Structure 1
């Protein structure tokens, strides 16, 4: 399917998109400073009990709280869904404590309930956090090197800003909603980074191709070139994101509980990636390119 965006001025409207992105970024920083991230058991020492139930226990949350508090298992966080109850403890539960809680929960709420317990100690939690941050850092540095060699440093800087924008949007929304951050979430962030840079490179490649044949005399000519390049790749960008987004939505709706947050992060990241490639990366490159000093022709040497 083809779309016609030939008359849309992406460059002149870019300031509104920048304002929107800055507002979201500032809100994300504020929420992260206040609430932080809701780290799952993968990144935090302690035990997490995931209980599958055959009935909706949301109306009985207070009773579940009372039961857990009677067990005297320390600080915890409770999440009750329509068919699942998740309890995350700050302390590591012993086998005796796990079995007693499972037995008492089944007796009080659902005899058919089945529980799974995951435990991570302090050292493993710290190691996973470090490796997750290192993975994102190395991937970003690799992208900078590749784009700088393949294109130029302005393209590389604009691409990095766009992909960091996409990753931070996902992180901010998970912080605002206090959704659990675990290993699949990190995988989703790395996947989003890959998708975002791919979408951005397609537009940058068209800009580079158009630059070869364009006669750029002033900033207005650069504006027209960027608008034309984005318009020429818009059909491809929309068709790609709609296709991948449809698959991610299907996984979110019909997939299991264990990958639901992963697919949600993918949905948010795909939308942010398509948005930033068009409205953030290209106009940012234009700003840097327009500040480039014109090359002065070499003076011809006079005959001696």
Structure 2
């Protein structure tokens, strides 16, 4: 059985080597979540978010010094906008009207009366509701993807893809838990975006595996492994170019973009890299493991002579 494909490395034969890192990272993520949980932002815990239009260009250091002088030393403002004229301040506590007025008065005393602010308060009940809805969103998206792949391909493809995309989502969560990055609503958008990009890569390889299966007669495990390896290397360039294009753009956004979207771009970057890894080294080998356990179909009984 020859697919006229140069197999530069036998991924299926060495699959256990590539399972070690994902297993270790998953265990580290579980331990981190059990011990430290996630560093939730104000979107997922009670607090106050203040968006301030400054009317002029400001720096984070100056606004931070103003907040310290006003009696709020624990809050770190984020400066954004086209001209660095918008400031976002997140408070871990629910501010009352007097405290909000005190913050606004301090900023007006420093930068002028043209300042305007929008104050949003997240109650504990709303924070809990957002957390529950987020979990449901990820589970429903994963279930929908699994059903789609099962209908288009077969249950082995669906199971292998769902395990790998759930791993990709968990990697993003684990990294943010281990390094204590803040989790907010853009983070959830990044996780859901990761699901979409990840399944796209896997569909490409699975579609090639299915096409190769149609024109091959697999008689043993060795031939099946060769088919999967050939399918991986036939689609390797396409998958790498697609992922690299998005990774380069995401990296530029992370390095040069506004601080308000840095965590979103970082979460998306982690998910993209994990998705590329899992497509080649997790999803395809998992399908091979499921497929090789398939029992051979019974041959049709020979017709008896009259």
Shift of 1:106: 8.0
2:68 paired with 1:67: no
In structure 2, do the counterparts of structure 1 residues 294 and 214 end up closer, same or farther at CA, with 3 Å as the change threshold?
Answer: same
1:44-85 CA deviation, whole Å, 9 max, x = no partner? 12224578952647998xx9499337xxxxxxx644789988
- Post-superposition offset of 1:302: 2.7
Q: 1:33 matched to which residue of 2?
A: 34
Tell me the residue number matched to 1:54: 59
Greater CA drift, 46-55 or 91-100: 46-55
Structure-to-structure mapping, 1:98-247, within 5 angstroms:
98-103=100-105, 111-112=110-111, 117-247=119-249
- Mark the runs of 5 or more structure 1 residues left unpaired by the alignment: 70-76
Q: CA RMSD in A?
A: 2.9
The alpha-carbon distance between structure 1 residues 218 and 172, as it changes in their structure 2 partners (threshold 3 A), is same
- The separation in 2 between residues aligned to 1:25 and 1:116, in whole angstroms, is 40
In 2, Cα distance between the equivalents of 1:65 and 1:264? 32
Does the Cα contact within 8 Å between 2:60 and 2:77 map onto a contact in 1? Answer: no
Equivalent of residue 275 in structure 1, options 270, 274, 277: 277
Matches of 1:58 and 1:225 in 2, distance apart? 60
Choose 227-236 or 213-222, whichever is displaced more.
213-222
Question: What is the TM-score with the length of structure 2 in the denominator?
Answer: 0.84
Residues 286 and 55 from structure 1, CA distance in 2 versus in 1: closer, same or farther, beyond 3 angstroms?
A: closer
Deviation track 1:90-136 (CA, whole Å, cap 9, x = no partner) reads x31112112224545787xxx34977643212232222222222211
CA distance in 2, matches of 1:199, 1:183: 25
Aligned partner of 2:22 in structure 1 is 21
In the aligned structure 1, how far is the partner of 2:175 from the partner of 2:62? Answer: 26
2:91 is the counterpart of 1:88? yes
CA distance in 2, matches of 1:106, 1:81: 17
Question: Aligned-pair distance for 1:252?
Answer: 1.3
**In 2, distance between residues paired with 1:186 and 1:192?**
10
2-structure distance, mates of 1:78, 1:156: 45
